Amino acid sequence: MKLFAMITLLALAGLEGLPVDTKHYDYNCETRTGNYEGDIVLTERQGEIVISGRDPVVTDVDKWANNVVPYVIEAETLTSENAKLIREAMTKIEDESTVRFVPRKQDRDYLVISGETSGCWSTLGRNRGLNRMNISPSECMLEGAIVHQLLHVLGFGHVTNQQDRDYYLDIVWDNVRPEHAQSLKLHEGRILPNYGMPFDMESIMHFGQNHFSRDGADTIIPKNKDHTIGQRQTMSFKDVRKLNIMYPCGYC
């Protein structure tokens, strides 16, 4: 883990206005598969919870034991260069936390990372047995996009749907595709707690401003026009802080 002083300096400097790599990244790769909130694949149990009108809850039993995520990278769908970038994204998370990604041996619960041709998506938290994550090489093979999906695997939801978001964001419902209106529903507050910190405009777990758009027009507009949302470059200070609260060293 990097020195706490370095993290503190980042916080003081602020990460407002981190640019989105729109030249190479299309948010549609996170929405076209029709999963929960666009890019989260729910288990049968989690799906039943959603059908009942509640949110899937990530509790301590849904976190990865001892902060370790055993993984397999599918050689059939991902090249060695793809695998290298995925491991670099894992290292970004490891450098900021006590979480470790290790090649699977005989572990019961593990993550399989594939490179199917369409979409970026992942399961949420640790589920019994096989957990899945997909990074389309032609659409979302970017380090920040991979980090976004890995944080879902660790149990992070989307910041955009936190209970306090309406103080910071306006949703332009007329621009939202009807089939995705549910994807902008406010959480009950348990899937991604604030941990006592203010709303995080710079989180890598935000939707982009035109997520779920009918025609490319903005659907999510910051009330403070100086802010941008939806960056897929790096974890924010608050992302790192939340990760270390979720996976404290005491679990190591």
More confident residue, 34 or 242: 242
49 pLDDT exceeds 80? no
CATH code for the part of the protein at 36-154: 3.40.390.10
27 pLDDT exceeds 70? yes
227 is in an annotated binding site: no
Residue 178 main-chain phi, psi, to 5 deg = -55, -40
**Does the fold of domain 165-246 match that of domain 36-154?**
yes
Dist CA 30 CA 32 (whole Å): 6
What pLDDT digit, counting tens, does each position of 198-208 carry?
Answer: 889 999 999 99
What percentage of the chain has pLDDT greater than the value 70?
A: 83
152 is in an annotated binding site: yes
Alpha carbon distance, N-terminus to C-terminus of the chain: 13
Q: pTM of this prediction?
A: 0.86
Q: Where are the domains of the chain?
A: 36-154, 165-246
CATH topology of domain 165-246: Collagenase (Catalytic Domain) (3.40.390)
Dist CA 56 CA 14 (whole Å): 31
Of 21-35, 70-84, 148-162, 176-190, the poorest mean pLDDT is in 21-35
252 pLDDT exceeds 70? no
pLDDT grade for 4, boundaries at 50, 70 and 90: very low
**pLDDT value at residue 1:** 47
What percentage of the chain has pLDDT greater than the value 90?
A: 58
148 is in an annotated binding site: yes
What pLDDT digit, counting tens, does each position of 168-202 carry?
Answer: 999 999 999 999 998 998 876 555 556 667 889 99
